[in-house]
Chains A and B, each alone.
Chain A
Amino acid sequence: MTTVKRAIPYLLAVVASFVAAGIFIALMGFNVVKAFETILFTSFRTPNGFIQTLLKFIPLLLLALAFTIPLTAGKFNIGGEGQMIAGGIGAAFVGIMFGNLPAILLVPLVILGGIVGGALWGLIPALLLYKFNINEILTTVLFNFLSLFLIDYFCTGPWRDPAAGHPTTIAISKAGWLPTLVKNPPLHIGIIIAILVAIGIYIFTAKTTSGYEMIATGANPRASRVFGIKVKNMFVLSLVLGGAVAGLAGAFEVAGNQHRLIEGMQSNFLVLGLIIGLISKGNNAAVPFVAFMISVLEVGASAMQRTMMIPVEMVFIVEALILLFVLLSDVVRRK
């Protein structure tokens, strides 16, 4: 099947969701055409719109990968949010505590701090799975909540910025701020790193032996174990990788966008990341494209709420519907 033919069910799903949402919007008394226009084209009308889309794209791409990488091994990582926050804490830690270092050292270290923080937050549930066979859905979710309390502690405690109205830390040292590609509005190098990560993940799964072992593990862990694959190691590896990627998103948020740790930085990236991962059906190669599409919709949604007073949840419903229709298209294809 050619790529075009394969894309048809997705296009149909998008169209169907918009139709359904359109009916709802019309019933609520809003201008459907204007709404669709805003949702779809805000990203492309101005340079600012496009950059905002890219800035949304980075965490969405990374959080989606944080879900799809463990999914390759058959594990459900619902902890992207916690891992991102842990990464943010890690990055902030480095950025604040080692602020005296020159930028050439500090920037990579801050990023590393984020990766390590996220990886750790994925490692603990992975170990609980490894040693005690505890379902990772439960542990990763619980760790989300733990991270929320943790970030609250840091933002109202030791690193607190007393001048801020909302719980947030002091800024990290300027030497730790990510260099930018574009100054106004600021687009940091995270975009390049994120895309490289996506490519790296693809190469890993498609070409390497370890990548094959991860795929086999996800396809049938028992058979993989019988035929020599260290399945439990694969589970841990996949969760740590997923956590690391989410942690990277946290580092970008702290060092690239806000330059400090802000409570609520995780936004709704987790749920959107999960949706992107599911729409991509776990295919790491498809994730960047779906992530971009969702970024466009999200930017459009905020614009729509600002200018037309239509709640952003409307677009969320559209996204959930796209997922549902994509899943259903599988069923139809089977028959």
Chain B
Amino acid sequence: MEDQIILELKNVRKVFDQTIALDNVSFTLKRGEIHGLLGGNGAGKTTLMNILYGLYKKDEGEIILRGQPINIQGPRDAIHQGIGMVHQHFLQISNFSVLENIVLGTEIKNKFTMKMDEEAQKVENLCERFGLDVNVTDVISSLTVGARQKVEILKALYRGVDILILDEPTTNLTPQEVDALFESLRVMVNEGLSIVFITHKLREVLSVCDRITVLREGKNITTLERKDASEEVFVRAMVGEKMDIEHSIYFATEDRKAFDRSKAGTPKFTLENVSYISSDGISKLKDISLDIYGGEIVGIAGVAGNGQRELAEVVAGVIPVSSGRKVFLDKDITHKTNEELLHTGFSYVPEDRLTDGFLVKATVAQNLILGHHRGKPYSDGKFIDWKKVHSECTEHIKEYNIKTSGPAEIGGNLSGGNIQRVMIARAFCLASEVMLAHNPTRGLDIPSMDFVYQKLLARRAANYATLLISEDLDELMRICDRIAVIYRGQILGILAREEFDKYAIGRLMSGITSENQPVAEGTIS
């Protein structure tokens, strides 16, 4: 491996409205290395790379590529310079084919007839060379997350990039798929690419990167060779001095005792043989049975797209079950509306904060009472006591550390992380017997994640029931008493805390139970 510096970002500064996203940040990339860009959410990693890729414009700073300063005005320039990026949220057109997505934006030989045999051949050659198998005629909407990621990587390779940026690539992969991805990265590096690996997961970066740069709150903290530093150094670099690492949950090393079901009464929430068939006739949930007791946290593990969304929506009452029963606090609620649910002790943190939970054009106060607006303390059923709403809201803003000018501020002015805090405040501020949280910490920085974990464990101590659906396996293993694994709409197995094992869960996530064989990869039937 040569020690040549191929790319340098110097003194980059970027400001969004009032927030300083990047403050004098520098970054270097050596030829043939896998360089990890590590930091919590909001640290500035994606912003920095988006500037390199031309999606954002930097306010100050330089980009020096292969020794020459360059100016990148947009993704076209970046691609032209040999820089490619695989985004966290795949940039694909769902109703186009794999081939169409890969060639989109390039010069096609037969641009006036769109016969793309040559292009298809080129993609197939790349597949062989880099060990990524996809079928070029498949439509994107029919693919699994893992397959879609391969398409995303192929898009960059097709354009002959020699610098590849991957933004949180392991978010929706099983542990086995993560290993396979790392293998592919090694192959790419051997073929001459240089890779930037953005992540907030410390363990991953330690296992695959050669050098690691840590960012925090938009600033450089440190850059070290992997072999030169221990895990503790990186932990401290990621969270800084303000966080109490020792008593944190995020970094806890000693184990808790699991919730003892033998002493519990009746479950607070039960799903009995619940099935759900979507409007286009696809069976999304198959015969799901689940109990959640007060005083425990039950987690749902699985790769995104295996029915988590439908499970969340069935539990929260957003969609009706096709068959089966739902029992809440000993009452059959199978056919009740979610309005009732939310006003009798149920709270919900949806996965899609903006679309499913936030009112961008309304005020912070109006956002906080959504779902609980018909009952005490905010309303007597007919009229809303706005004075009370404002005073409660002011308190919650303080407690949940929401950065805003006040209850009357328009929601759309808040940053992403603060919007999330509003949603979390909404779910936690009124005592609820049962809570459903779907990826509640996604997008939060580490201290905030820890705050949420503290709150979840406090619920547990207060004998409330919590269902936590998460795509972050580490998170589930950290705080759950039980983990159920969902695969293609079925619960394949439930493990108690004593049995937690990453690879065992990973196997279930891939559909491998002890009885059957792994199911065919690549497509969802």
Q: Which residues of A contact B (CB under 8 A)?
A: 207-209, 212-213, 215-216, 218-220, 222-230
Q: Mark B317-349, 1 if CB is under 8 A from A, else 0.
A: 110000000000000000001111111000010
User: Which segment, of B176-184, B354-362, B471-479, faces chain A?
Assistant: B354-362
Q: List A contacts of B348 (CB < 8 A).
A: 226-227
Q: List B contacts of A228 (CB < 8 A).
A: 317, 337-343, 371
Given A208, A220, A230, which contacts B359 in the complex, CB threshold below 8 Å?
A220
Q: List A contacts of B381 (CB < 8 A).
A: 209
B386: nearest residue on chain A (CB-CB)? Answer: A207
The interface centre, meaning the residue of B343, B358, B381, B384 with most chain A CB atoms within 10 A of its CB, is B384
B356: nearest residue on chain A (CB-CB)? Answer: A226
The interface centre, meaning the residue of A216, A225, A230 with most chain B CB atoms within 10 A of its CB, is A216
Q: Which residues of B contact A (CB under 8 A)?
A: 313, 316-318, 337-343, 348, 350, 355-362, 366, 369-371, 373-374, 379, 381-384, 386
CB<8 Å pairs between A and B, sample of 28: A207-B383, A207-B384, A208-B382, A208-B384, A209-B374, A209-B379, A209-B382, A212-B384, A213-B373, A216-B366, A218-B361, A220-B358, A223-B359, A224-B359, A225-B318, A226-B318, A226-B338, A226-B350, A226-B356, A226-B357, A227-B342, A227-B370, A228-B317, A228-B338, A228-B339, A228-B340, A228-B343, A230-B339
B339 CB to nearest A CB, Å: 3
Q: List B contacts of A229 (CB < 8 A).
A: 339
B383 and A208 form a contact (CB under 8 A): yes
CA A190 – CA B37 in complex, angstroms?
A: 69
A222 and B356 form a contact (CB under 8 A): yes
The interface centre, meaning the residue of B358, B366, B373, B381 with most chain A CB atoms within 10 A of its CB, is B373
B338 CB to nearest A CB, Å: 5
Q: List B contacts of A223 (CB < 8 A).
A: 355-359, 370
CA A225 – CA B356 in complex, angstroms?
A: 8
Q: List B contacts of A216 (CB < 8 A).
A: 359, 362, 366, 370, 373
B231 CB to nearest A CB, Å: 40
A74: nearest residue on chain B (CB-CB)? Answer: B361
Q: List A contacts of B379 (CB < 8 A).
A: 209
CA A97 – CA B21 in complex, angstroms?
A: 72
Q: List B contacts of A212 (CB < 8 A).
A: 366, 369, 373, 384
CA A218 – CA B381 in complex, angstroms?
A: 20
9 additional contacts, CB 8 Å, given A208-B382, A216-B366? A216-B359, A218-B361, A223-B358, A224-B359, A224-B370, A226-B348, A227-B348, A228-B341, A228-B342
The interface centre, meaning the residue of A215, A223, A229 with most chain B CB atoms within 10 A of its CB, is A223
Given B340, B357, B386, which contacts A227 in the complex, CB threshold below 8 Å?
B357
Q: List B contacts of A215 (CB < 8 A).
A: 362, 366
CA A213 – CA B378 in complex, angstroms?
A: 13
CA A208 – CA B386 in complex, angstroms?
A: 10
A206: nearest residue on chain B (CB-CB)? Answer: B386
B362: nearest residue on chain A (CB-CB)? Answer: A219
A220 and B360 form a contact (CB under 8 A): yes
B425 CB to nearest A CB, Å: 14
Q: List B contacts of A222 (CB < 8 A).
A: 355-356
Q: List A contacts of B313 (CB < 8 A).
A: 226
B308 CB to nearest A CB, Å: 15
A218: nearest residue on chain B (CB-CB)? Answer: B361
CA A219 – CA B354 in complex, angstroms?
A: 11
CA A222 – CA B350 in complex, angstroms?
A: 12
A229: nearest residue on chain B (CB-CB)? Answer: B339
CA A209 – CA B337 in complex, angstroms?
A: 18
Q: List A contacts of B338 (CB < 8 A).
A: 226-228
CA A38 – CA B383 in complex, angstroms?
A: 46
Contact flag A209-B355 (CB < 8 Å), given A227-B370, A228-B337: no
B368 CB to nearest A CB, Å: 11
The interface centre, meaning the residue of A207, A219, A220, A227 with most chain B CB atoms within 10 A of its CB, is A227
B423: nearest residue on chain A (CB-CB)? Answer: A223
CA A225 – CA B374 in complex, angstroms?
A: 14
CA A215 – CA B359 in complex, angstroms?
A: 9
A226 and B316 form a contact (CB under 8 A): yes
CA A225 – CA B317 in complex, angstroms?
A: 10
CA A146 – CA B379 in complex, angstroms?
A: 43
Q: Nearest 7 pairs between A and B by C-beta?
A: A227-B371, A228-B339, A219-B359, A219-B362, A219-B361, A228-B342, A227-B370
